[in-house]
Chains A and B, each alone.
Chain A
């Protein structure tokens, strides 16, 4: 059987500044994107249906793709905001950001046009804004709770900050990517962001634990932590890439959304853990400790 090995990186060739520069630059760019988004659109991310209110219909249309889209455009008043086709079969997911027309009448319009309504979903605007508040509160609570726990576990400032900072970046970078790729914030993506807090901290804790609490030299500990940590992240990454692809093919939006955000986050985590967190730890180990 072919076993792959996590390659050993010669960290001595790079200074702490060089190492930290890349992840910090990525983080800065992500923050600029989110800030810019906020300045232009009034929200740091594109809130989806769950938060803005609106309606979503999933309809089966018995026609080839181009024709089907045309039929859909004609069938509805108001016209759907977005039309997405599900690769696996001839169904389309339509969203309507409208308050004036109820989902009942949209269902009727769909049936009148000869489409089969496979699912419908509607959220009122006021319910959506309340959900948004809850979701923000949830993410904030999860992040603060995680931070408190990390400080309790390590009881030293720099290593704890390293973990919290890289977890922060693990959330912020996917959010910026979502903006760039036009992925909306939904309940599924919120769940994925929360999941990231849990997942991303794993490899950071592992690294800190190996370097701070074990005997052995810095680089030896680092390499051992990397062997385990990179394997962990790669397995999760493999599972999530596959889940995203399959779920997209089947049109299971919740799973696809969770998968996409986790893929972004886990990839970011590889960079953050082994460049940002590592450089902070090395600085702490060699220069930060006065004794």
Chain B
């Protein structure tokens, strides 16, 4: 009679445990289309593992750039300002200057090349005749968001599944881009994201005894970009593209004017003899000429007749397939507004764990945890000598870990070494508190009435609550500061303490009472 009412804490604990087990093992709970870093559930549980336990690459770095706020445009348009500012700075091209209007007449000016200081930007603005509020290191929120979008699509285009890109901000106000790509080695991720990915097509043609080079197609001028093709049959690897309809006629005209679309096409010998070649088209990625090619007689003819502009298809030839793939990725993802500050003298961190190493850590850390639990169990059994007290203690402490694991599986929080360390810490504090309860309840003779039990239990709880509060306070800086890898440790220690105080430790009291007041 009244068992449920008296032992409701135990029933709540059992219910939560079942829910956690469900979250852990039920196939219906498996996360689909996982967008968290790490592998989707592997093995029998729904747990997701972070990079440390599954292998992969993590890069954390700010974007390169300096920004001037509240710049008065003085009636100039964005392109004009970009040109004017670039002219005042060494080694800065128009592509490195971004003007973002915020009102009709003012906005921000960013310069996104390495080596420009805020002071230099200020001087350049002064010289160009624009007044501004202040200059600082870093780029604008709009640029960061754009960079994150582009990096994400680059990673997707490259077929790196499960990769994520996000923005993190430190409490001191610095912004970092965090990129995590499971199962991929560091170098290829760095290569992929390090590239600004600026693709353009230039025309290279003789003009007055000399050669001249003009840009004819840029990123925005393509309407659609096909998949990279292997080539074969005498054809080089290439990317089929369609030029935008409004740009096509102009492009066509340039081809005819510069002589690329001459009668009989053109044969490019840019690589071997750049001084006496026919006109060429140059495919340029991040300022480097990737390939140079001429034009077939057929295509040249259709350009001359004006037919081509009706159906503006075109192929970008490269010398090998991986280049073709890179060009396709860059064209589709777009160019990064600013580069990531990684590299030897950069401002970030990167880490790589081989998948085999991750798997090994997974097993090893599990073993470490189990052995630590056994050690705790050993001491507890030695100390109490009574299975009735010690066994529920171990079971209760373990149930805290099961609940936390269920929670991690439920919200798809990726497990890392630091989270495992948190679990071990939770078992430690959990057992400590259970020892306090057990000692308090069994102190001074037998517990024969429920009243005695309740009052002793309440006394024990004061200490437990106080200890829990200090642990939460001590861990809270780690949970909110982005001290990288330790956030998981702090979050799960705090969660464990909360679950313990609200749920498992009161339930242990009930279990003990049921066993002692029989």
Contacts and interface: CB of A to CB of B under 8 A. Distances in A.
A255 B421 contact: yes
B347 A124 contact: yes
A102 B378 CA distance: 48
Interface residues of A, number: 78
A82 B273 CA distance: 52
Nearest to B440: A228
Interface in A66-125: 88, 99-104, 107, 116-124
Contact of B478 (A101, A191, A243): A191
A265 B60 CA distance: 32
A254 B351 contact: no
B432 A102 contact: no
Chain B CB count within 10 A is highest, among A4, A190, A239, A240, for A239
Given A3-B385, A234-B379, A239 B427 contact: yes
Contacts of A241: 375
Given A104-B186, A252-B361, A199 B429 contact: yes
A135 B470 CA distance: 18
Given A130-B170, A205-B463, A252-B365, A145 B473 contact: yes
A209 B463 contact: yes
Contacts of A206: 436, 463, 467
Interface in A150-201: 150, 153, 187-188, 190-191, 194-195, 197-199, 201
Contact of B383 (A4, A149, A153, A239): A4
Interface in A119-146: 119-124, 126-127, 130-131, 133-135, 137-139, 141-143, 145-146
B481 A134 contact: yes
B352 interface: yes
Question: What's the dominant secondary structure at chain A's contact region?
Answer: helix
B474 A198 contact: yes
A194 B475 contact: yes
B349 A201 contact: no
Given A228-B435, A228-B440, A118 B371 contact: no
A81 B489 CA distance: 29
B443 interface: yes
A252 B477 contact: no
Given A127-B349, A198-B474, A236-B432, A255 B356 contact: no
A224 interface: yes
Interface string B207-233: 000000000000000000000000000
A201 B384 CA distance: 24
A250 interface: yes
A289 interface: no
A149 B469 contact: yes
B96 interface: no
B477 A1 contact: no
A142 B476 contact: yes
Interface of A: 1-4, 50, 58, 88, 99-104, 107, 116-124, 126-127, 130-131, 133-135, 137-139, 141-143, 145-146, 149-150, 153, 187-188, 190-191, 194-195, 197-199, 201-202, 205-206, 209, 213-214, 224, 227-228, 231-232, 234-236, 238-243, 246-247, 250, 252, 254-255, 258
22 contacts: A3-B383, A4-B383, A58-B357, A104-B190, A107-B187, A118-B356, A119-B351, A120-B351, A139-B477, A187-B486, A190-B486, A191-B418, A194-B478, A202-B463, A209-B463, A235-B432, A236-B428, A239-B372, A243-B371, A246-B368, A254-B417, A254-B421
Interface of B: 60, 170-172, 174, 186-187, 190, 343-354, 356-357, 360-361, 364-365, 367-368, 371-376, 378-387, 417-418, 420-421, 424-425, 427-429, 431-432, 435-436, 439-440, 443, 459, 462-463, 466-467, 469-471, 473-478, 481-486, 489-490, 493
